[in-house]
Amino acid sequence: MMLTRRAALAGLAGVATLGALRRPSEPDVVIVGAGSAGIAAALTAQAAGLSVLVLEAMDRIGGRAFTDTATFGSPFDVGCAWLHKADDNPYTAYARAEGFTLQAHEYDLERVWLGPEPTPAHLVNEAEEAMSEAIMAAPADVAASTVVDVASPVNEAAGDYLGALDMAVDLDELSTFDYANADDLAPNFLCAQGYGSIVAHRGRGLAVRLNTPVRHIRWDGPGAVVETDAGSIRPRAVIVTASTGVLASGAIRFTPDLPAATQEAVADIPMGMLAKIPLQIRDQRFGLEPFTDVLLARRGRRDLYFLSFPFASDLMVGFVGGDLGWELSAAGEAAAVDFATQGLVEMFGSSAASAVVKGGLTPWASNPWTRGAYAAASPGRYAAREALARPVGDRIFFAGEALAGGLIQTCGGAFRTGAAAARAVQAVLA
Ligand SMILES: Cc1cc2nc3c(=O)[nH]c(=O)nc-3n(C[C@H](O)[C@H](O)[C@H](O)COP(=O)(O)OP(=O)(O)OC[C@H]3O[C@@H](n4cnc5c(N)ncnc54)[C@H](O)[C@@H]3O)c2cc1C
């Protein structure tokens, strides 16, 4: 019966609730956000027979999983690209079954420049390995910068690669416990059609009300009242998947206020920044094979990582993270593209500049519905992740990458949290 109802509603544009007999304005559960966590929550809740309404602020599903197929003539992942822990990732088997092309790709550095000097990449990889061990051995939850030595150029490069370019925060903002409790993410796969395309495919047919920001969640009576510009919905429970950046911004008002412990937890897990600066390159490959991992490391945390020409595309995908990521995001696309182009010139000579025909900058810093790339607990605040995972009043459940345990910061981890939140709702409503 569920299947019939799903099939009938899947074709309707715009709004629908799925499942049982409750009125559309009174579903069992409202899910705030149609990113990876929201999609998983909706699929899981529906499968459990609950009626579901998904409200999404943006004009598309996927959230921080989004593949742009229009700008460069080849798929470009604006958000997540690597299927981390691919042998245990909820998207891997799905992608294979649905005909997506996956390719194993670890991101050990292959070409490194320290300033203008080409340097053996293994030196930085080994330094990063040693640094990683030192951070994991830290007996207390402190800033990673206090347990590693970044005095040498090689160590500084390794620290920037591990911190800003992976965890999206510089080492002085990286919690040793956050890092130590994160899983080793190998094996890693890339997808020719884009990770965002897989996520959108997974969510296709789900009934989602797009362009519908949730402004206010009341939980002062039975169930909840979820207010949008288009009216109110009265579910029995709410799953909130908005990023900690969105939650901290106050874009969703709660009445009564969320408990102090929840609010503190949100503040203690702020968003980090990873920005991509894709450069489209014509008639030039700089001697790089497709997928080569390149690091241009500079003193003073001005590092640029490039994923070279993935899937034989003509893109050098630049990445900047941490404070530099925020800085260039604020500076805007032209300044960021210029920064990345200058990086190519530094490595490959002045003719590299004329090979760049188009560039871009990912908008996660300025997007009001993300307000950053992914969340990183502040040093000393690792326990906040557990505090935020606690449901409020048995009616408000949180999900999303910030709560993904060993898979924090990842799209696959976010999916798992959405499914878990839906199961928790099912248990409460049973
Ligand atoms: C540049 C970049 C690179 C990344 N690389 C990788 C990678 O290679 N591999 C990987 O696994 N992960 C990567 N990630 C992280 C990954 O994209 C995220 O962890 C994951 O997509 C988060 O999913 P989510 O469902 O938790 O949150 P989101 O995707 O943010 O979903 C939340 C949704 O809620 C919506 N929303 C917010 N507020 C409201 C509101 N008030 N009302 C209604 N809707 C609202 C948002 O619009 C959004 O669609 C990357 C992220 C970035 C930014």
User: Where do the structural domains in the chain lie, given as residue ranges?
Assistant: 2-61+206-270+377-429, 67-105+188-196, 111-185+274-359
Strands 315-321 and 274-281: antiparallel
- State the burial class of residue 15 (Cβ atoms within 10 Å of its Cβ: 0-12, 13-18, 19+): middle
Q: Are 288 and 294 in contact (CB under 8 A)?
A: yes
Percent of the chain with pLDDT over 90: 93
Torsion of CA 283, 288, 289, 294, to 10 degrees: -130
Classified as helix, coil or strand, 280 is strand
296-345 pLDDT tens trace: 999 899 999 999 999 989 999 999 999 999 999 999 999 999 999 999 99
End-to-end, the C-alpha distance of the chain in Å comes to 19
Q: Please, how many CA atoms are within 13 Å of residue 109, restricted to the half-sphere of its CB? A: 31
Indicate if the pLDDT at residue 165 is higher than 50.
Answer: yes
Residue with tokens 């925060």: 169
Indicate if the pLDDT at residue 136 is higher than 90.
Answer: yes
List b or e across 29-63, with b for residues whose CB sees 16 or more CB atoms inside 10 angstroms: bbbbbbbbbbbbbbbbbbebebbbbbbbbbeebbb
Residue in 241, 291, 407 to alter for ligand 1 test, most ligand atoms within 8 A of Cβ: 241
Q: Are 300 and 170 in contact (CB under 8 A)?
A: no
Distance in Å, CA 349 to ligand 1 centroid: 37
- State the burial class of residue 338 (Cβ atoms within 10 Å of its Cβ: 0-12, 13-18, 19+): middle
**Span 169-194, mean pLDDT?**
97
Residue 22: per-residue pLDDT: 58
Distance in Å, CA 177 to ligand 1 centroid: 23
7-17 pLDDT tens trace: 223 333 334 34
Q: Are 373 and 272 in contact (CB under 8 A)?
A: yes
Distance in Å, CA 271 to ligand 1 centroid: 11
By residue count, the chain amounts to 430
Residue in 31, 59, 80, 417 to alter for ligand 1 test, most ligand atoms within 8 A of Cβ: 80
Residue owning the nearest CA to atom 12 of ligand 1:
410
Q: Which atom of ligand 1 is nearest to the CA of 61?
A: 49
Angle between helices 333-348 and 322-331 (to 10 degrees): 120
User: Which residues is 293 bridged to in the sheet?
Assistant: 307
User: Which residues is 276 bridged to in the sheet?
Assistant: 319
Residue owning the nearest CA to atom 10 of ligand 1:
410
Indicate if the pLDDT at residue 269 is higher than 50.
Answer: yes
**Span 185-212, mean pLDDT?**
97
Q: How confident is the model at residue 5 (pLDDT cuts 50, 70, 90)?
A: very low
Q: Which atom of ligand 1 is nearest to the CA of 35?
A: 31
* Structure tokens belonging to residue 374: 């992914």
Q: Which CATH superfamily is domain 2-61+206-270+377-429 in?
A: FAD/NAD(P)-binding domain (3.50.50.60)
Residue 13: per-residue pLDDT: 31
- Please give the Cα distance from 143 to 121 (Å, whole number): 26
* Structure tokens belonging to residue 200: 């959108």
CATH classification number, 111-185+274-359, choose in 3.40.640.10, 3.90.660.10, 3.30.565.10, 3.30.530.50: 3.90.660.10
Distance in Å, CA 58 to ligand 1 centroid: 12
380-411 pLDDT tens trace: 999 999 999 999 999 999 999 999 999 999 99
Residue owning the nearest CA to atom 6 of ligand 1:
80
- Please give the Cα distance from 96 to 391 (Å, whole number): 34
Secondary structure (H, E, C), 120-167: CHHHHHHHHHHHHHHHHCCCCCCEHHHCCCCCCHHHHHHHHHHHHHHH
- Please give the Cα distance from 234 to 223 (Å, whole number): 7
Residue 24: per-residue pLDDT: 66
What is the full DSSP assignment across 296-327?
EE-TTT--EEEEESGGG-SEEEEEEEHHHHHH
212-250 pLDDT tens trace: 999 999 999 999 999 999 999 999 999 999 999 999 999
Ligand 1 environment, Cβ below 6 A: 32-38, 55-58, 63-65, 79-82, 84, 213-214, 241-243, 246, 251-252, 274, 276, 362, 364, 369-370, 373-374, 400-401, 409-412, 414
Q: How confident is the model at residue 428 (pLDDT cuts 50, 70, 90)?
A: very high
Q: How confident is the model at residue 20 (pLDDT cuts 50, 70, 90)?
A: very low
- Please give the Cα distance from 430 to 419 (Å, whole number): 16
Indicate if the pLDDT at residue 135 is higher than 90.
Answer: yes
- Please give the Cα distance from 238 to 429 (Å, whole number): 11
- Please give the Cα distance from 77 to 92 (Å, whole number): 16
Indicate if the pLDDT at residue 363 is higher than 60.
Answer: yes
- Please give the Cα distance from 181 to 39 (Å, whole number): 26
Residue in 31, 411, 416 to alter for ligand 1 test, most ligand atoms within 8 A of Cβ: 411
Q: Which atom of ligand 1 is nearest to the CA of 276?
A: 1
On average, the pLDDT of the chain sits at: 94
